[in-house]
Amino acid sequence: MCGIVAVIGSREAAPLLLEGLRQLEYRGYDSAGLATVEATPAGPGQLTCLRAEGKLVNLQQRYEQYPAAGHCGIGHTRWATHGKPEERNAHPHLDGTGQLAVVQNGIIENHRSLREQLQASGVVFLSDTDTEVIPHLISQCLARLRSSGRAASGSLLLEAVQQVLPELHGAYALAVVWGETPGALVVARRQAPLLIGLGEGEFLCASDTPALAGFTRTILPMEDGEVALLTPLGIELHDALGNRVQRTPSLLTGTEHVADKRSFRHFMHKEIHEQPETAALWVARHLPPPSDAPGSPSLVALPLPAKVFEGVEQIQILACGTSRHASLVGAYLLEQLAGIPTSVFHASEFRYAPPPLAPHTLTIGVTQSGETADTLAALVMEEERRGLIADPAYAARLLGITNRAESSLGRLVPHLLDIGAGIEVGVAATKTFLGQLLTFYGLALAFAERRSSRSPAQLQDLVSGLRALPAQLKELVEEHDRRCAELAHLFADTQDVIFLGRGINYPIALEGALKLKEISYIHAEGYPAGEMKHGPIALLDSRVPVVSIAMPGRVFEKVLSNAQEAKARDAQLIGVAPEGPDTALFDVLLPVPAVDELLSPLLTVIPMQLLSYHIAAHRGLDVDQPRNLAKSVTVE
Ligand code: AGP
């Protein structure tokens, strides 16, 4: 939520900042801004600040009219929390002299009391943001330090930031430039991501790797509480206690950090089409080739030590949004396939009402970005409350599932499953949902094999089904892309849609509804089909389409009966089901091959994604950057 970028080196900063922000725009697009510091031949430098409401393109235009010069600068793309999405609330925020600028991602929880304190000392605020307290606090601190005769320098700026940070409560990543020091900038983070990229004689710091990937492959992720002074000569890194820290940078590998739309109109469309490849990669990485040799490898290869699987009596999964929907499918598999009682929690609810502690519990945090504040905080809380109990049976056992191994989640949990779907830019998660599902199939199969909860033949059949998935997905994506594009006009005036599913496909109904809501702004609800008659059926009439997922298996007949009930209320019925006489009742069929019911969510989700995509695109909406949303939700 909000992206920040900072650069210092030998090149003009503004073009690098704008390119970095372009890569971070998925984190928020309510406004954007940048500040640069230009060195002047005599004395201090000159700070220029440009800000614009709305998308980055508006800032780009402003920059074309009023170029901001200098080799040092900071930039920001905003998702509004405190203060409306207006230019006066856009970052950077300045101190009273207009020569010190700050960008921030996070929330300063005690901003009200700090603001009152600053106002009492005569500070005038120009925005409604929580961030604006920071430049004023740093400015006052600099004034105090300089009153003892100290000259302006990067070290002085660093010292002032270090003195102010303990006053800030909450989570943040921030960057500061000062007109007096054109050759220095300071960055800091606490519970919000920040990475430093090391170029040749230049450094770029950003909230996420896509902003760095085009600049350098050598990165230094900052740890919680760290503060760094960046100059063209190097990085001076300090921990939260002020101690100097030396750490070896790491390398970004692969192309997964580069966001490229290729020939698609939207990232979401491209990412839906990438799913056969996501599945093929997952199969290649995790399903060893079939072998009859004695002692042949186990069914699934997961990079987890045996102790993660040993003695687990129950599993709890913490996640938000689409990641939670994938977790619901995961819970179904872990219970029905591996026989392990499993609960899924909204991470934001778990934080404030966790269930009583149970022994031998594996806690799984699922977040594609690895940065969702609620999921991270819920995991930290679980670790802390278990740490208070002496009995080792209650010790925290944490596992993370993410698409961003280098994220905060990656640093928080001892064990990690990287879904390896490659960078996802569209705010609506698609290929990462599939990657999360596949990861849960792998995990459930691994548990089931170890516990012999299903026969080897049954498990092997599922593995064979997974091997067939990439080819099935390829056909399905192509076919439904065409069908859904043709259907989209039917939803031109639709205001409500109901999605029905049961059993393992109930979470897919939830996911279908979420996809439609977030990109097309059509009200949609996902329901367990059998629950309709307990209330929601009252909503149905000829203006409310019902999308019903009916896959052969345990609840096939039941779902068809529930669909009949909707049809009897004049609802237009769209079926996600195999072709055949049983499914002739649907007004429109989005056909899906009849696979093993346990594997069906991997296929039924495709028409859900494409239907939402084409409805939103047909309505001319901004599919990749829907209103009010951001790709990673790094605030509570
Ligand atoms: C997905 O389409 C949504 N944009 C959203 O629900 C998302 O899944 C949620 O914010 C959780 O994000 P995470 O997976 O990065 O934790």
- Element spanning 526, H or E: strand 523-528
537 and 455 fall within a common domain: no
| 452 and 508 belong to one structural domain | no
SS (H, E, C) 376-404: HHHHHHHHHHHHCCCCHHHCCEEEEEECC
Which CATH number covers residue 499?
Answer: 3.40.50.10490
Q: What share of the chain is helix, strand, coil (3-state, %, to 5)?
A: 40, 20, 40
Regarding whether 245 and 315 lie in a shared domain, the answer is no
User: Is-contact 208 24, C-beta < 8 A?
Assistant: yes
Q: Which mutation among 79, 369, 401 tests ligand 1's pocket best, with the greatest number of atoms within 8 A of CB? A: 369
Does any domain span residue 337? yes
Distance, CA 333 to ligand 1 centroid (Å)? 21
Both 290 and 153 in a single domain?
A: no
Per-residue pLDDT tens digits for 405-447: 878 898 899 999 999 998 898 999 999 999 999 999 999 999 9
Query: Does one domain contain both 76 and 165?
Result: yes
Residue 259 lies in a domain: no
Number of structural domains (the chain) is 3
The verdict on 51 and 141 lying in the same domain is yes
Residue 475 in any domain: the answer is: no
Residue 476 lies in a domain: no
Question: How do residues 570-622 score in pLDDT, each as one tens digit?
Answer: 889 999 999 999 899 999 999 999 999 999 999 999 999 999 999 999 999 99
Residue 255 has pLDDT above 60, yes or no: no
| CA 274 to ligand 1 centroid distance, Å | 18
Under a CB-based contact definition with an 8 Å cutoff, are residues 437 and 602 in contact? Answer: yes
- Same domain, residue pair 453 and 588: no
Q: How far apart are CA 429 and CA 515, in angstroms?
A: 8
| 232 plus 273 within the same structural domain | no
Q: Output the CA 319–ligand 1 centroid distance in Å.
A: 9
> Residue with structure tokens 């502690």?
357
For residue 186, give Cα distances in angstroms to 38, 68, 130.
16, 19, 19
Q: What is the CATH number of the domain that holds 96?
A: 3.60.20.10
* End-of-domain residue from the set 251, 283, 312: 251
What is the gyration radius of the CA atoms in the chain, in angstroms?
Answer: 26
In a domain, 165, yes or no: yes
What is the pLDDT confidence band of residue 153, given thresholds at 50, 70 and 90? Answer: very high
Residue 369 · residue 408 · CB < 8 Å: no
Q: HEC profile for 400-441?
A: EEECCCCCHHHHHCCEEEECCCCCCCCCCCCHHHHHHHHHHH
The residue range of the domain holding 553 is 489-631
Q: Which residue is associated with the tokens 């829907």?
A: 626
DSSP 1-24: --EEEEEESSS-HHHHHHHHHHHH
194 and 154: one domain? yes
Packing angle of the helix pair 456-487, 601-618 (nearest 10 deg): 10
DSSP H or E segment with residue 133: helix 133-147
Domain boundary among 217, 251, 285: 251
**Alpha-carbon span 446 to 301, nearest angstrom:** 8
Q: For residues 435 and 404, what is the distance between their CA atoms, to the nearest angstrom?
A: 12
Best of 366, 367, 510 for a ligand 1 pocket test (most atoms within 8 Å of beta carbon)? 367
If asked whether residues 130 and 180 sit together in one domain, one would say yes
Q: Say how many Å lie between the CA of residue 101 and the centre of ligand 1.
A: 31
pLDDT at 295 over 80: no
pLDDT tens digits, one per residue of 215-252: 899 999 999 899 999 999 999 999 999 999 999 999 88
Nearest-atom number in ligand 1 for the CA of 320 is 11
Q: How is residue 266 annotated by DSSP?
A: S
* Residue 322 domain-assigned (yes or no): yes
Domain-embedded: residue 401: yes
State whether the Cα torsion 105-111-114-120 is positive or negative: positive
| 440 shares its domain with 367 | yes
48: number of Cβ within 10 Å: 21
For strands 546-549 and 573-577, give the pairing. Answer: parallel
Please give the positions annotated as active site.
Answer: 2, 631
Amino acid sitting at position 28: G
- What pLDDT, on a 0 to 100 scale, did the predictor assign at position 397? 97
Identify whether residues 424 and 528 lie together within a single domain. Answer: no
Q: Ligand 1 atom 13: the closest Cα is on which residue?
A: 367
In a domain? residue 277:
yes
Residue identified by tokens 């899906």 is: 592
- Candidate from 320, 327, 519 with most ligand 1 atoms within 8 A of CB, to mutate: 320
- Convert the pLDDT of each residue in 41-73 to its tens digit: 877 899 999 999 999 999 999 999 999 999 999
Handedness of CA 339, 341, 346, 347 (dihedral sign): negative
Confidence at residue 246, expressed as pLDDT on a 0 to 100 scale: 94
Burial class (CB in 10 A: 0-12, 13-18, 19+), 474: middle
Query: At which of 436, 467, 498 does a domain end?
Result: 467
